[in-house]
Amino acid sequence: MRALLLTVALLAPLPAFAQDASRGREIAENGAGDIAPCASCHGMDGRGVGAAQFPRLDGQHPSYLLKQLNDYAGEARRNEIMTPIAQALSEADRQAVAAWYGAQRFGEATTDPRPSELGERLVMQGDQSRGLQACVNCHGPEAAGLPPLFPRISGQHAEYAQAQFQAWREGARRNDVAGVMREISGRLSEAESAEISAYLEGLRSR
Amino acid sequence: MSRLDRRGLFRGVAGFGAATALPAAAQPAPQATPPVAAPAAPPAGSVAAWRAGSREVQPVSSWRFLNAPEAAFLDAAVDRIIPPDDQWPGARWAGVVRYIDQSLAGAHGQGARFYAAGPWAPGLPTQGYQLPLNPAQLYRTSLTAILREAEARQLDFARAAPAAQDAFLRAIEAGEVDCGGFRSDVFFETFLANTIEGFLSDPEYGGNRDMVGWRMIGFPGAHAAYLPLYTHHGMKYDEEPLPMGETARHQHTPGQGHGRPQGESRRG
Amino acid sequence: MARTLPKKDIVFVGFGFTAAVIARELRESGLSIVGLERGRPRDTVPDFQGPSMHDELGFAVRHGLMQDVAKETVTVRNTPDQHALPMRQLGSFLPGTDLGGAGVHWNGQTFRFQAADFELRSHHERRYGRDFVPEELTIRDWGLTYAELEPSYDRFEKLLGISGKAGNLNGQLQPGGNQHEAPRSSEYPNPPTAPAYLGAIFAKAAMELGYSPFQVPSANLTRAYTNPEGVRLEPCMVCGYCERFGCEHFAKSSPQTTVLPALREQPNFELRTHAHVLRVNLSEDRRHATGVTYVDVNTGEELIQPAEIVVLSAFAYNNARLMLLSGIGTPYDPATGEGQVGRNYCYQTMSAVTLFFDEDVNLNQFMGAGALGTVIDDYSGDNFDHTGLGFVGGAYIAAYTTGARPIEFHPVPPGTPRWGAAWKQAVARHYNHTGGLQCHGQSNARRGNYVSLDPTYRDAYGQPLARITFDFPENDLRMSRFVTDRAVEIARRMGARQIVAAPRTAPWSVVPYQTTHNTGGAIMGADPTETAVNRFGQSWNVPNVFVTGAALFPQNATYNPTDTVGALAYWTAAALKDQYLRAPGRPLVPA
């Protein structure tokens, strides 16, 4: 029991994000030291570039974004572009960047809705035969995120989402809550995760 | 012993579905914190708009079960049960009467999950509700008697001063109105439970407008997954609550409005 | 005229945890198996998916997953001289309905009973003398020991994937686990939950007082797990919609998430839903069951299902009712103390201490799970010296964080008006800063508490309802006062601004919810004249009828019953498989 309590006491509190994200804006626009500006891939408004698997960051909660940066800096999430960037940023700068992009209101969807019976079923309802639950159980209504920790996945670039399924499957990404995304991804075929990704990208939400 | 006497003997009155009554007595109210400045143009129908001075109550174009005098009585009564204050709108604004109306018109009101076979006997408080009336019938029978009683007292309840309204509600609560073989406390317990339900249930059921009840206490609503957040002991959680249905949500804009909408203070 | 169906080897009446476990254990028996479930089929997908499952009003308040009392309820009274009346709406307890039964909407708090619980009377007479047990109590030994049942506990916990920390492995005490538990043969299959805030505050105070707090063994899993049936469960997301709800995450152990997927693939198994069993059919001499008669609730047609073995696997008192409706065994008579079926109906002696904290203590209990709790076992059962205390039994004291859904939970301090401005302000002030300690207490049997058939009221199919006669024994009220006082001492160290204790008081009321731990009515034991079934759950009178579930408990122990219910299912399954089938129709214990 003592060990348990100790574990709990060591958990970092969630950071309080400053209202003023000016330092984050500075890094996003001009970079920091040798680090390229975030905007060169993600845009100042965080819209990203689908074809290059640069994710949309707009509409994400700053806590989620900060966790990703911290995980890139550590071992839980590996990416050849993001890992060195996150490692080069100070803790305070990671917070500042998360605060900037976390303050970007979710923009319009970048694609038209893509009807996919399979994608919609897996996102909204799940699949009993394989023990797959609906994505919206954790990712919130219309998969628009359940703040502060479960990211918005609706409207996300399909190419990025598909790459994440791959990363979960292969273990390049291991920063999920209790291993749930690795579990789920491992049970989805590539074709299925592509359907989900396409459906999510076109899913209209608030 | 007549049914009326028997029921009156016991303090623990069994209303329909009313199982959580707590003892009553006087206690000084905690100080209300001053209202927070409202944003420039809060969305219509939001708690923020209410705080900005809007007193617009969502109109009900057609009642499904209640008749007009019943609805008028309940509309005034619920706002004495959960009155508006500086911080938060009351039950009337929250649409609690619409909740009650829909509930009475629906399966619950019509006796779903209610064992309705006789013979009927008054029973003991420990045996629970024993009237042959389903919730809709209980409301109709009771309200008929209560409105008649108000008339006899020359009380225009809906327009009466709050103190007079409270006095009449306390009389109903104490069982002083004969509802035709049973006392009005049976109705009151049901009504009290339903009013609280209408203030705190998902907006899908017609009440809890703009999730006012949830905002007031800091309950985050239907969409929920708190692993590992729950181990952040004592954290202040102030995300915008989320209802089951899409229609009830307004203007949740992650990235700008994490947590409460600007201008709203959550007591949590 | 009822239509007769082709014969099956074994028929189950009611399809929840116990039926599913036994049917699965009989996979290689060669028996043809049919499960009859009066409710509808349902599964994690699509039935329990969010957000519609997260509907407090629909499920927690209006009881969407529970037995429909419009069709069948029970009648209730406190004493045999009262006139029983129907429980017209659910209240004190919430039996489940539909496939999986209460195993779908339970919390998942998964405790074993203590070794002494199985020999309750002889244990107390040995330790405290023959005069110690109060006259009013009719507590008994089970005819079965903890050591005999231990392997079955182990199997059930591995089926469910219980998340916990062992405190006693084969007699060796383990730090972090329950220091008072009976010896376990193996560690829990999954690690324990991390405490919620309230639990952490409780644990600190309890340790300061010299107690040994630990995390409640939980059927809300802490990690993904594949059980021995090859069924995969997922980790609990701590959503706060667990008790009274189905789990959308495949994370709460239920028949659906642990054994039904395997059972469905089993060639000798057939499940029929919407099949409401009216009675067990007996031979003329009432010594042999020929099968069951049931109604197809969708058409009203009566059907006869002949079978070689009948297993009564319905909810606790429903098993006793089915025996009484079918004429299996002699009905218990509280006036004479004679008879087999219906006796020793027990419940659970619950009490609570409410703690009102300052406004800066954010308990956030909406971040909850059904079995997310921190507990001390120091005052359970006979874990403490009862000399001079004047009662038998105890209670565990736990700080649970199960969800704080607001219609059910909006506490205000005593003295607050019941409605109006002051009430509203108090609700806003206290909602996130109020917690509770639960004293989950033993329920001892007494002569006047029993299950019988109601002489007046009937169900939708014209059959007499079960009549429950129950009140708390004076012994149990004394116990509740004692343990609640101990909980208050802990509460005082937890830093609350105000503490309100509510020890259990009589009379028992059907109105406020207490627990769904109804036990007894078809109790097991060694004496064929005073128990309904032998130690294997086999009817003394009709040896090809077996009974499962909490109906078998001679009295209820301190703890939540499900672990013991599941263990008994494995125990009975082994008896069927390894003994009964070698000589079908024979009593496993000579009467």
Q: Which of C116, C13, C15, C19 has the alpha carbon at shortest distance from C566? A: C19
Domains of chain C by start residue, with CATH: 3-53+60-582 (3.50.50.60)
Residues 27-86 of A with CB under 8 A from B: 58-62
Contact call for residues C367 and C240 (beta carbons, < 8 A) = yes
Residues of chain C positioned with their CB less than 8 A from the CB of A13 = none
CA distances (Å), origin C226, targets B23, C25, C223, C236, C398: 49, 18, 10, 14, 29
Q: Which of B228, B232, B254 sits opposite A145 (nearest CB)?
A: B254
- Sorting pLDDT into bands at 50, 70 and 90, what band is B16? confident
Contact call for residues B47 and B264 (beta carbons, < 8 A) = yes
Q: Check if A5 contacts B (Cβ < 8 Å).
A: no
Q: Which of B10, B28, B37 has the alpha carbon at shortest distance from B265? A: B37
Q: According to the model, what pLDDT value does residue A8 have?
A: 41
Q: According to the model, what pLDDT value does residue A20 have?
A: 60
Residue B72: which H helix or E strand, with range? helix B68-81
Measure the CA–CA gap between C351 and C442, rounded to whole angstroms: 11
Q: According to the model, what pLDDT value does residue B246 have?
A: 62
Measure the CA–CA gap between C485 and C481, rounded to whole angstroms: 6
Measure the CA–CA gap between C491 and C503, rounded to whole angstroms: 14
DSSP state of C487: H
- Residue B253 tokens read as 């804009």
Measure the CA–CA gap between B74 and A193, rounded to whole angstroms: 52
Q: According to the model, what pLDDT value does residue B40 have?
A: 62
For residue C195, the chain B residue with the least C-alpha distance is B231
Phi/psi-derived region of residue B111, left when phi > 0, alpha when psi is between -120 and 50, beta in every other case: left
Q: What is the DSSP string of chain A?
A: -HHHHHHHHHSPPPPPPPS--HHHHHHHHH-BTTBPPTHHHH-TTS--BTTTTBPP-TT--HHHHHHHHHHHHSSSB--TTHHHHHHHS-HHHHHHHHHHHHTSPP---SS-----HHHHHHHHT-BGGGTBPPTHHHH-GGG--BTTTBPP-TT--HHHHHHHHHHHHHTSB--SGGGHHHHHHHHS-HHHHHHHHHHHHH----
pLDDT in tens, C516-537: 999 999 999 999 999 999 999 9
Q: According to the model, what pLDDT value does residue B110 have?
A: 97
- Residue B57 tokens read as 């109550």
Amino acid at C282: L
pLDDT in tens, C379-417: 999 999 999 999 999 999 999 999 999 999 999 999 999
State whether residue C293 is helix, strand or coil: strand
Measure the CA–CA gap between C186 and C458, rounded to whole angstroms: 48
- Residue C77 tokens read as 């009274």
Query: What residues of chain A score a pLDDT lower than 70?
Result: 1-20, 205-206
- Residue C61 tokens read as 């308040």
- Residue C562 tokens read as 């499900």
- B128 vs C509: CB contact, 8 Å cut-off? yes
Reported as half-sphere exposure (CB side, CA atoms, 13 A), residue C13 has a value of 34
Residues 80-139 of A with CB under 8 A from C: 125-128, 131-134, 136-138
Tell how strand C172-173 and strand C269-272 pair up. Answer: unpaired
Q: Is A173 exposed, middle or buried (0-12, 13-18, 19+ CB in 10 A)?
A: buried
- C194 vs A4: CB contact, 8 Å cut-off? yes
- Is residue B255 over pLDDT 80? no
Contact call for residues C320 and C551 (beta carbons, < 8 A) = yes
Q: Which of A71, A146, A181, A204 should we substitute to test contact with B (largest number of B Cβ atoms within 10 Å)? A: A146
- A177 vs C194: CB contact, 8 Å cut-off? no
Task: State how far residue B263 is from chain A, nearest Cα, in angstroms.
Answer: 15
pLDDT in tens, B155-170: 999 999 999 999 999 9
DSSP state of C539: B
φ and ψ at residue C335, rounded to 5 degrees: -70, -40
**What's the CA dihedral at A83, A85, A87, A88 to 10 degrees?**
160
Q: Which residues are paired to B178 by β-bridges?
A: B183
- Is residue B266 over pLDDT 60? no
Q: According to the model, what pLDDT value does residue A17 have?
A: 67
Q: Is A142 exposed, middle or buried (0-12, 13-18, 19+ CB in 10 A)?
A: buried
Task: State how far residue A204 is from chain C, nearest Cα, in angstroms.
Answer: 18
Q: Check if A189 contacts C (Cβ < 8 Å).
A: no
Q: Which of A11, A137, A152 sits opposite B254 (nearest CB)?
A: A152
Q: According to the model, what pLDDT value does residue B57 have?
A: 87
As for the ipTM of the complex, it is: 0.96
Q: Check if A4 contacts C (Cβ < 8 Å).
A: yes
Mean pLDDT per 10-residue section of chain C, whose length is 591 residues? 95 98 97 98 94 95 97 98 98 96 98 98 97 97 98 98 98 97 98 98 98 98 97 97 97 98 97 98 97 98 98 97 98 97 98 98 98 98 97 98 98 98 98 98 98 98 98 98 98 97 98 97 98 98 98 98 98 98 97 83
Residues of chain A positioned with their CB less than 8 A from the CB of C237 = 137-138, 177-178, 180
Q: According to the model, what pLDDT value does residue B21 have?
A: 36
For residue B248, the chain A residue with the least C-alpha distance is A141
- 3-state secondary structure labels for all residues of C410-464: CCCCCCCCCCCHHHHHHHHHHHHHEEEEEEEECECCECCCEEEEEEEEECCCCCE
Q: Check if C144 contacts B (Cβ < 8 Å).
A: no
Measure the CA–CA gap between A141 and B222, rounded to whole angstroms: 10
- B128 vs C424: CB contact, 8 Å cut-off? no
Active-site residue set of C? 517
Q: According to the model, what pLDDT value does residue C160 have?
A: 98
Q: Which of C155, C146, C143 has the alpha carbon at shortest distance from C113? A: C146
Q: Which residue has the tokens 């206290």?
A: C430
- A59 vs B239: CB contact, 8 Å cut-off? no
Radius of gyration of chain A (CA): 17
Contact call for residues A138 and A180 (beta carbons, < 8 A) = yes
Q: CB C575: neighbour CB atoms within 10 A? A: 19
φ and ψ at residue B123, rounded to 5 degrees: 75, 180
Contact call for residues C69 and B115 (beta carbons, < 8 A) = yes
Q: According to the model, what pLDDT value does residue A205 have?
A: 67
For residue C214, the chain A residue with the least C-alpha distance is A1
- Sorting pLDDT into bands at 50, 70 and 90, what band is B6? very low
Q: Which residue has the tokens 């299950």?
A: C451
**What's the CA dihedral at A155, A158, A164, A170 to 10 degrees?**
160
Q: According to the model, what pLDDT value does residue B38 have?
A: 42
Q: Which residue has the tokens 């969807």?
A: A109
Measure the CA–CA gap between C26 and C19, rounded to whole angstroms: 11
Measure the CA–CA gap between C244 and C5, rounded to whole angstroms: 36
For the question of whether the overall pTM of this predicted structure is more than 0.90, the answer is yes
Residues 346-375 of C with CB under 8 A from B: 361-364, 366-368, 372
Q: Check if C194 contacts A (Cβ < 8 Å).
A: yes
Handedness of CA A123, A128, A132, A137 (dihedral sign): positive
